[in-house]
């Protein structure tokens, strides 16, 4: 796969914040970069490398947003769990028998 194709895939995955697609695109990018020494130097290759670098930075920003969202959701889940645990531990109020 060409570096330009992996760049497009990384950008699409980053925009969608899709972890699986990011991982797949990362692996494809790694393979494309490994094949670069066989290519002759050119302005097009330099431009493709710059675009790939920029897409990698976009992916890193997307990963940071995903991590932040996961942390927020984790805190929210912990608060919900704590509320359920509190409800289980708190004794019921005094029981008043009104039947006489």
Note the pLDDT tens digit of each residue in 13-22: 999 999 999 9
The pTM score is 0.74
Q: Which pLDDT value is given to residue 40?
A: 94
Helices (H), 1-100: 3-16, 19-34, 43-89
Residue 98: is its pLDDT beyond 90?
no
With CA atoms as reference, report the closest residue to 4 among 40, 34, 42, 44. Answer: 44
Res 87: pLDDT:
83
In tens, the pLDDT along 6-50 reads 999 999 999 999 999 999 999 999 999 999 999 999 999 999 999
In the prediction, which pLDDT does 58 show?
A: 95
Handedness of CA 23, 24, 27, 30 (dihedral sign): negative
Rounded Cα–Cα distance for residues 31 and 12 (Å): 18
């Amino acid at each position: 796969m060409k570096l330009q194709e992996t760049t497009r895939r990384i950008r699409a995955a980053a925009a969608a914040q899709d972890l699986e697609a990011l991982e797949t695109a990362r692996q494809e990018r790694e393979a494309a970069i490994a094949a670069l020494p066989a290519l002759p130097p050119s302005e097009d290759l330099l431009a493709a490398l710059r675009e790939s670098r920029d897409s990698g930075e976009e992916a890193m920003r997307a990963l940071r947003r995903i991590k932040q969202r996961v942390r927020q959701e984790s805190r929210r889940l912990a608060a919900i769990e704590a509320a359920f645990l509190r409800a289980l531990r708190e004794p019921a109020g005094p029981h008043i028998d009104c039947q006489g």
